[in-house]
Amino acid sequence: MLKRPTGIWNDLKETALSFLYEEQKGCLLCESVAAAGTVICPDCIQKYFHPELGRCHQCGKLIPHSQAKCKDCRDGIGPKGLDQVAAWGHYSGAWREWIQAVKFKAQPYKLKRIARPLADWAIRILPPPHYLVSVPMHFERLAERGFNQAAVIASLLHWELGIPILDVLERTSITSPQVGLNRKERLHNLDGVFQVVNPRNLQAVRGAKIWLVDDVTTTGATFEACAAALKEKGAEEVLGLALAAGME
């Protein structure tokens, strides 16, 4: 009759089983195994986040480090009223698909994995603010989707960096989709859409430095419209922060 393994053999068996069942944290965007303590592999960092590039201070577009602004902003056709804009990555490929899955496939829980690396990057790129303000959704769209991805991102930054959230902006009407519109058309589409509400927060807005948070910025029209509403009520600086933007 065979004896049950004991001692060192039990230890070896348990070690082998731990390799079989231990959860492996893969790269957020591909099937590679990410290094310990990271969520995105080096190849995807280079492919989608481009640490070798700078960000246009006016619209957030990815540009060479030697430039402060992209060509559009140098030519005067970029967003106005923002003190700085920074986009973490390039809105393309797997990064674009991941962001769209968060929004359109009801997967906001995915955002939790990027909280720490996004916060670390943002606090290096942008001066620290007094408050975080998320780009709002109209209540009907919010009811359809169930969450505002910009608000989720702002909440995660709050927990990582300790920056207070100011619930002060409201989207007063539903606009037609911005896709396919140029910047001028987008601005017209957003005219008067964002308003500062909640009188208790008006005092906080006056003289404040604010990070305005959204998932994606393209022409910068949404950031521009929100910044105009905040500055009208006395905000000193409004700085846009997005997960992704275009590239020059």
The H-or-E segment that residue 182 falls in is none
Contact 241, 211 (CB under 8 A): yes
The H-or-E segment that residue 210 falls in is strand 209-216
The domain containing residue 47 runs over which residues? Answer: 28-245
CATH at residue 231: 3.40.50
Residue at 159 is within a domain: yes
Q: What is the pLDDT of residue 216?
A: 96
Q: What is the pLDDT of residue 34?
A: 76
Compute the distance between CA of residue 74 and CA of residue 78 in angstroms, rounded to an integer.
8
Output the DSSP codes for 124-159.
Answer: HHSPPPSEEEEPP--HHHHHHHSS-HHHHHHHHHHH
Residue at 88 is within a domain: yes
* Beta carbons within 8 Å of 141's beta carbon, 6+ residues apart: 174
Residue at 141 is within a domain: yes
* Beta carbons within 8 Å of 138's beta carbon, 6+ residues apart: 171, 172, 173, 174
Q: What is the pLDDT of residue 21?
A: 37
Q: What is the pLDDT of residue 23?
A: 44
Residue 40 is encoded by which pair of tokens?
């995105």
Q: What is the pLDDT of residue 124?
A: 97
Q: What is the pLDDT of residue 180?
A: 58
* Location of structure tokens 């990410």: 34
Residue at 6 is within a domain: no
Residue at 17 is within a domain: no
Q: What is the pLDDT of residue 234?
A: 95
Residue at 18 is within a domain: no
Predicted confidence pLDDT, tens digits, the chain (248 residues): 444 445 554 554 444 333 333 444 789 999 788 777 789 999 999 999 999 999 999 999 999 999 999 999 999 999 999 999 999 999 999 999 999 999 999 999 999 999 999 999 999 999 999 999 999 998 998 999 999 999 999 999 999 999 999 999 999 876 655 555 555 655 556 667 888 987 777 889 999 999 999 999 998 999 999 999 999 999 999 999 999 999 98
* Beta carbons within 8 Å of 4's beta carbon, 6+ residues apart: none
Q: What is the pLDDT of residue 182?
A: 59
pTM for this model (two decimals)? 0.85
- How many domains, the chain? 1
Query: Which three-class secondary structure string do you get for 54-107?
Result: EECCCCCCEEECCCCCCHHHHCCCCCCCCCEEEEEEECCHHHHHHHHHHHHCCC
Residue at 4 is within a domain: no
CB atoms within 10 A of CB 82: 24
Residue at 7 is within a domain: no
Q: What are phi and psi of 168, to 5 degrees?
A: -130, -20
Among 215, 223, 219, residue whose Cα is nearest residue 84? 223
